[in-house]
Structure 1
Amino acid sequence: MVFGQVVVGYAGSGKTTYVHAAASYLRALGRDVCVVNVDPAAEENSRKQQEETGEAHARTFDVDVRHLIRADDAAREHKLGPNGALIYAADYLCANSDWLVEKLRPFVARNCYFLFDCPGQLELFQSRDSLRGALEAVTKALSVRWCCLHLTDSHLCADGFKYVSALLCTLSAMLFFDAPHVCAISKCDLVDASMRREMDMPFRFYRGGARGDLTRLADAMEYRHKGLRGTHLAQLTRNLLELADDYGLVSFASLAVEDTRKLARVVALCDRSVGYVPASDAEGGGGGVSAASLVAGEDSDDDDDDDDDLFDDD
Structure 2
Amino acid sequence: MVIAVFTGVAGSGKSTLIASYYKWLKRRLITRVAVVNLDPGAEVLLYRPTLDIRGFFTLEDVMRKFRLGPNGAFIKAAELVAENIDKVLSKEPFSNLEEWDMVLVDTPGQLEAFILRPAGSKVLQELSKRGNTVVVYLIDSSVVENVADAITLWLLGFLVQVKLGLDVVPVLSKADLAKNVSALKSLVDKDADVSRLFDTLEAKGLVADLVPEFLHLVNKTRGAFRAVAVSAVREEGLEELHFLIHEAFCGCGDLT
* TM-score over 0.5 for the pair: yes
Question: For residue 25 of structure 2, what is the aligned residue in structure 1?
Answer: 26
1:160–1:217 CA contact under 8 A, matched in 2: yes
Question: For residue 71 of structure 2, what is the aligned residue in structure 1?
Answer: 83
Which stretch shows the higher mean deviation, 241-250 or 12-21?
241-250
In the TM superposition, residue 203 of structure 1 has moved relative to its aligned partner by 4.3
Provide runs of 4+ in structure 1 moved above 6 Å.
none
Question: For residue 139 of structure 1, what is the aligned residue in structure 2?
Answer: 128
Question: For residue 73 of structure 1, what is the aligned residue in structure 2?
Answer: 61
> Unaligned 5+ residue runs, structure 2?
none
**TM-score of the aligned structures, taking structure 1 as reference length:** 0.73
Question: For residue 135 of structure 2, what is the aligned residue in structure 1?
Answer: 148
In the TM superposition, residue 107 of structure 1 has moved relative to its aligned partner by 4.1
Aligned residues: 253
- Residue deviations 1:135-164 (CA, integer Å, cap 9, x gap): 322333xx3112111111112332222212
Question: For residue 119 of structure 2, what is the aligned residue in structure 1?
Answer: 130
SS at match of 2:3: strand
Q: Alpha carbons of 1:261 and 1:68: their partners in 2 closer, same or farther (altered >3 Å)?
A: same
Larger Rg: 1
SS at match of 1:102: coil
Question: For residue 37 of structure 2, what is the aligned residue in structure 1?
Answer: 37
Pair 1:204-2:185 in alignment:
yes
In the TM superposition, residue 243 of structure 1 has moved relative to its aligned partner by 2.7
Pair 1:270-2:245 in alignment:
yes
2 CA distance for matches of 1:276 and 1:247? 19
1 CA distance for matches of 2:251 and 2:18? 18
Q: Alpha carbons of 1:211 and 1:40: their partners in 2 closer, same or farther (altered >3 Å)?
A: farther
Question: For residue 108 of structure 1, what is the aligned residue in structure 2?
Answer: 97
Pair 1:179-2:154 in alignment:
no
1 CA distance for matches of 2:246 and 2:102? 10
Listed as ranges, the matches of 1:185-200 within 5 Å are: 185-191=172-178, 195-196=179-180
Listed as ranges, the matches of 1:41-60 within 5 Å are: 41-43=41-43, 46=44, 59-60=47-48
Pick from 196, 211, 219 the counterpart of residue 199 of structure 2.
Answer: 219
Question: For residue 231 of structure 1, what is the aligned residue in structure 2?
Answer: 205
2 CA distance for matches of 1:26 and 1:221? 40
Question: For residue 228 of structure 2, what is the aligned residue in structure 1?
Answer: 253
- Residue deviations 1:9-56 (CA, integer Å, cap 9, x gap): 11111100111111111112211111000111112xx2xxxxxxxxxx
1 CA distance for matches of 2:222 and 2:20? 30
Identity, % of aligned pairs?
26
> Unaligned 5+ residue runs, structure 1?
47-56, 223-227, 278-291, 297-314
- Residue deviations 1:33-86 (CA, integer Å, cap 9, x gap): 11000111112xx2xxxxxxxxxx854311001111211111111111111101
1 CA distance for matches of 2:187 and 2:250? 27
1:157–1:206 CA contact under 8 A, matched in 2: no
2 CA distance for matches of 1:164 and 1:202? 9
2 CA distance for matches of 1:80 and 1:186? 32
Letter in 1 for 2:17: Y
**TM-score of the aligned structures, taking structure 2 as reference length:** 0.88
2:116–2:160 CA contact under 8 A, matched in 1: no
Bigger fraction of residues in helix: 1
